[in-house]
Amino acid sequence: MQKMLAPFSCSYTPNVPEFLQKLGCSIAISTYQAGKVIFLSPKDANTLTQLPRNFKKAMGIHLSGDKLAVATKDEILVLSNSKHLAYHYPKKPKTYDALFMPRATYYTGALDIHDVAWSKDGELYAINTSFSCLIKIDHNYSFTPIWQPPFIDKLASEDRCHLNGMAMDQGVPKYVTAFNEGNTRQSWRENITETGVVMDIKENTVVARGLGMPHSPRIYNDQLYVLLSASGHLAKVNTETGKTETLMDLGGFVRGMDKYGDFLFIGLSKLRKNSSTFSKLAIADKAQQAGVLIIHLPSLTKIGAIYYHSSVDEIYDVHILPKILRPNILTPERPEHKMGLVTPQTTYWGQPNPDANLLKP
């Protein structure tokens, strides 16, 4: 009889915990399939610990300073890190070096938001996949359209080209990815392996074509990298010539990428065999693992990996939490989040009794 796996059971190459310790960081991943944001961090030099939290259809995540944005099914939540609240966390004092607490919720409605990012000015940008446009998020509207591809003739909730990824350049949106240049409802489904594009927002032009399901465009060292999910490749795009150079076969369906130091952290997803869109991909048979790959970018060498064996099949985003080795996160559904109070000068943990005095740690 096959042994039942514990929820979120995972394995990892033996070097990963110590590697994260030496880098001084933790990994955050989002999985819309499991409805979670998961923090992965080193418990010691030999062991990883993980902290899954509920976020309905978690998609894009982005950390800027102490602010963490998480896109969900019909909201974007903003959480803020307090080291002082973390240190005095009542359930486990002196355990965590970061604690992300809910501070604001933007009720966007069902926009199928994919990538999100904070700008250098503290504004929140997102890819509105349903309406095929780049948007700004604030408290005034469900969304404010900032840019749409030149081939999209109107805003309509039709996911016309599957606009999905956003690359920031010096704190402002610069490039986006889409599955095609279609202008009708879900036209991208017709030929997903050859019609993907990278677009320059400022120039309002297509800079590369013929890509297989491009995701997660990122600018590193002044060069544009992209994940080609349909073929499982890491690629580099020459934005002057449009030439795309395949750098590495990652061996599965890749989506979600961040860089820390010289290392890329790339999300790996298990393809749904019952999906009419994904089941026909050439990599469908080998895309049977979900997890995170760690790649040394200068040498294009795989140096470590984390693999899930239960609960997590599909990963959307991967983001590094720098200088954080044991993070915690509280969601609005956890009542203790209401007990942690922050002012510009200090922090407080309240008592369970609402009439009790607040205790200053």
* 254, 260 contact by CB (below 8 A): no
Identify the DSSP state of 3: P
Report pLDDT for 2: 58
Residue 4 lies inside a defined structural domain of this protein: no
Unique residue bearing structure tokens 């902290």: 51
Does the structure show a pLDDT above 60 at 354?
A: no
Report pLDDT for 279: 66
**Residue pLDDT, tens place only, 245-271:** 999 999 999 999 999 999 999 999 998
Q: How are strands ordered across the β-sheet holding 25-31?
A: 48-54, 36-42, 25-31, 317-322
* 361, 89 contact by CB (below 8 A): no
* 29, 311 contact by CB (below 8 A): no
Residue 307 structural domain: 10-349
**Residue pLDDT, tens place only, 107-120:** 999 999 999 999 99
- pTM exceeding 0.85: yes
Identify the DSSP state of 358: P
Question: Structurally, how many domains does the chain consist of?
Answer: 1
User: What's 75's domain CATH number?
Assistant: 2.120.10.30
